[in-house]
A and B are shown apart, each in its own frame.
Chain A
Amino acid sequence: MTSSWRGGQGSRGARGGAPLPLLLPALIGLAFLVLPLVALLIRAPWRSMPDLLTSTEVWQALQLSLVCATAATAVSLVIGVPLAWLLARVEFPGRGLVRALVTLPLVLPPVVGGVALLMALGRNGVVGQWLDSWFGITLPFTTAGVVVAEAFVAMPFLVISVEGTLRAADPRYEEAATTLGASRFTAFRRVTLPLIAPGIAAGAVLAWARALGEFGATITFAGNFPGRTQTMPLAVYLALQSDPEAAIALSLVLLAVSIAVLAGLRDRWMTPS
C-alpha cells in the first residue's frame, strides 16, 4: 500500500494527486493528531531524562506494560478470533444484539469496566467467588488481573477488525476446503485463518496498542503495585500527581517504545512482500 501511494506521487506529482478539498482536511487531521505529541516533545524535561530512564521503577513499569499488553493481545487472539468467526459466519438469533454487546467495552468508560470486572471476577464477584473458593484464584491485585483488564478493553478492537475481514473474505473457500475432506475447523485453520491473516494482524496491533495505553480498567481492577500491576500509564498518572515533568518523560518513553514496536511490526508483518 505504501509503495503504490509513493508511486502515485512520483508519477503524477503531489498537486495532481491530491485535490485540495481532500488535502486540506487531511493535513489538518494530521496536525490535530501529531500536535499534542509535538508539544510533549517540546516541553519534555530533557535534562532530567537520563535519571528517569535509569530508575528501576520506570523499567519495571515499562517491562510490565509490554508483557501485559502482549499477553492481553494473545488472550484476545485466542478467544477473540473464534468470536469474530462466530459473528461473521454463523447465523443465530440475536446476532445483532451479541455484536452490540461485543462492542460494549468500547463505549463503557474504562473505570466502569474495571468496576464491572471486579463485580464479575473479583474476590466477591459473581464468578470470582467460585474461582476463589474452588481454585483459590483471585485476579484483583495480580499481574493476571492486569492482563484480564487490558484484554477486556482491547479485545473488541480485535473482534471488530477480524469480523470485518471475515465478512469481506469469500466464504466459498471454506466450502471448497470441506469438499476436499476438511472438517469445518480444519477449513478454518488451514484456509480461512491464512486468508484473513492481514486483518488479524491489524486487529492485534490495534488491541496491543489499546492494551498498552490502558489505564482506567487496569487501576480499578488490578490496583497499582510497582512491579506487579503498575503499568506505564499508571506510573504516568501517579507521577502527574506529584511531578508533572516526570509524567511527561514517562509518557515519552511509552510513546517511543510503542512507536518502535509498531513500526517494526509494520515492516515485518503488515507490508505485502
Chain B
Amino acid sequence: MTDIEKNPKVRQSAIGAPSPAHEGTDARREGLDARLVVERGSFRLDVALTAAPGDVVALLGPNGAGKTTALRALAGLVPLTDGHLRLDGTELDRTPPESRPVGVVFQDYLLFPHLTALDNVAFGPRCHGATKAQARAQAAEWLERMDLAAHAGAKPRRLSGGQAQRVALARALATHPRLLLLDEPLAALDARTRLDVRAQLRHHLADFEAVAVLVTHDPLDAMVLADHLVVIEDGRIVQEGTPADIARHPRTDYIAHLVGLNLYRGQAEGHTVRVDDTSSVTITTTEALTGPAFVAFPPSAVTLHRDRPTGSSARNLWRCEVAGLETHGDQIRAALTGELPLAADLTTVAAAELDLRPGAAVWATVKAAQTHAYPA
C-alpha cells in the first residue's frame, strides 16, 4: 500500500494541492464540492453536492431522476455541461476518469469475467504503477479484509451475489480513492443476502475515511447506509438532510411514499389545513400554522369504519372507497380514493371484519394528535 501512496497521481490528490483561486477557503479544501450540470437532449441535471471526508451521501430518487448520471459525472464518465467539481481542493472537471482519485462500485459490479477475484482487485493498483507482485499482495490484503481470502482464485461467475459485491467494493477501494461512488450497491441482491450485505457495507463505509456517494432508489438502503440524503427528482434536488429529518418531514409525494407517509400540501390557518387540489377538504392538526404547509401522517394512524362513526372524537373524517389492497407482512395496506386519497394500514383480522374489498365504501378517521404539520 505504501507503494500506492508513493504514486504521484494518488498522492497529489490526497494532499490536495489547493488551486490559487480557493486559497483561504479552508472549508472547501477537504472533501467534495460539486455542482453537476449535465444536459442530454431535453433532460437537464443540475445538482449541487458537498460532503466532508468520512461522510456517506445517498442520492435517492425515482428511476430516471438523474442519480446515475450524477454519479457518472462524478466519475468522469459523463462530461459536465456546466458547473464544477472539486475534490479535496483539486479541480477535476476536465480530468479524465482514469486520472481521478475516484473508485466506483457499479450496479451489477462489472467484475472482469476473465480475471480471478484477486486479479480484479489487483487491476487498479497495477494501473497505478504497482508491479504485478505488489498489486497482488495488496489485493490479497483487501480480500482478506473483506473475508474473501478463500475466494481469491475464483472467477466472478463462481461468486455469490454478496461475494461479488464485496469483491467490487475491494476493487474500488484498492486504489485508495478520495471519493467512493456506489451505484445501487444492493439492487442486484436477493432479499436475504441484502440484509447481510447491507450490514457489512455499512461497516465498511463507516471505516472509509474519504467521501462516499451512493445512489439508490431504496429508502431503507439510503437511511441505513448514509448520514446525509439528497433526494433528486427530474434532475433537481427536491430535498436534502439527515435520514431522520427527511423521514419526518417529506416534501414531495415521492419521498412521502418512500417513507410510507400520507402527505398533503395546503394552506394552514391555525389548527386547520385546507388541502390543495381537493374540494375544500380540511385536516385538523395539533400544530398551529399560517400559510403554505405540509401535513403528514402514517398509514397506521388511519382507522377505517364500515359505517359513519358516531361517537368518535376524531375531527378528521372522510368518506372513501377502497381502490386496492396489498399485504405488508402481517399488515394490510389499503389504498383509498374519495374525498382524500389515503393509504391506511390495518391488521388482516380487522380487514376481514370490515369485509374490505376493492370498491367497498368506507369511512376513514385520523386523530389530530397523529398528524404532523410543518411549513412548506
Contacts and interface: CB of A to CB of B under 8 A. Distances in A.
Contacts of B102: 179
A25 interface: no
Interface string B83-105: 00000000000001111101110
Interface stretch (A35-43, A90-98, A190-198, A259-267): A190-198
Residue of B99, B100, B110, B175 with most partner-chain A CB within 10 A: B110
Contacts of A173: 110, 112
Contacts of A181: 9, 98-99, 124, 127-128, 175
Nearest to A177: B123
Interface string A67-110: 00000000000000000000000000000000000000000000
Contact of B97 (A178, A186, A191): A178
A182 B123 contact: yes
B215 interface: no
B192 interface: no
A170 B113 CA distance: 11
Contacts of B97: 175, 178-179
Nearest to A173: B110
A191 B112 contact: yes
A172 B100 CA distance: 17
B40 interface: no
Identify the interface centre among A170, A178, A194, A197: most chain B CB within 10 Å of its CB. Answer: A178
A9 interface: no
Interface in A141-187: 170, 172-173, 175-184, 186
B100 to A, nearest CB: 8
B232 interface: no
A166 to B, nearest CB: 15
A180 B171 contact: yes
A182 to B, nearest CB: 5
Interface string B21-46: 00000000000000000000000000
B254 interface: no
Contact of A182 (B100, B113, B114, B127): B127
Nearest to A179: B104
Contacts of A183: 98, 127
A195 B98 contact: no
A22 B106 CA distance: 42
A191 B98 CA distance: 14
A183 B99 CA distance: 9
A178 B106 contact: no
Contact of A194 (B76, B96, B114): B114
Interface residues of A, number: 19
Interface residues of B, number: 24
B77 interface: yes
A180 B76 CA distance: 12
A175 B103 CA distance: 12
A180 B113 contact: no
Given A181-B124, A190-B123, A176 B175 contact: no
B75 interface: yes
Contact of A172 (B76, B98, B99, B106): B106
Nearest to A186: B127
B114 A195 contact: yes
Contacts of B110: 170, 172-173, 175-176
Nearest to A180: B124
B13 to A, nearest CB: 12
B104 A195 contact: no
A180 B106 contact: no
Q: Point out which of A180, A190, A194 has the most chain B C-beta atoms below 10 A from its C-beta.
A: A180
Contact of B127 (A172, A180, A194, A197): A180
B143 to A, nearest CB: 16
Nearest to B128: A181
B113 A195 contact: yes
Contacts of B100: 179
A180 B123 contact: yes
Nearest to B181: A179
Interface centre among B97, B99, B102 (most CB of A within 10 A): B97
Given A181-B127, A195-B114, A176 B106 contact: yes
Contact of B98 (A178, A190, A194): A178
Nearest to A170: B110
A178 B112 CA distance: 13
B85 to A, nearest CB: 15
Contacts of A176: 104, 106, 110, 112
Nearest to B98: A178
A184 B172 CA distance: 18
A75 B301 CA distance: 75
Contacts of A182: 98, 123, 127
B123 to A, nearest CB: 5
A50 to B, nearest CB: 48
Contacts of B104: 176, 179
B112 A179 contact: no
19 contacts: A170-B110, A173-B110, A175-B77, A176-B104, A176-B106, A178-B97, A178-B98, A179-B97, A179-B98, A179-B100, A179-B102, A179-B104, A180-B98, A180-B123, A180-B127, A180-B171, A180-B172, A181-B175, A197-B114
Interface of B: 9, 75-77, 96-100, 102-104, 106, 110, 112-114, 123-124, 127-128, 171-172, 175
Nearest 7 CB-CB pairings of A with B: A181-B127, A180-B124, A176-B110, A194-B114, A179-B104, A178-B97, A182-B127
Given A176-B106, A194-B114, 10 more contacts: A173-B112, A177-B123, A178-B77, A179-B97, A179-B98, A180-B98, A180-B171, A181-B99, A195-B113, A197-B114
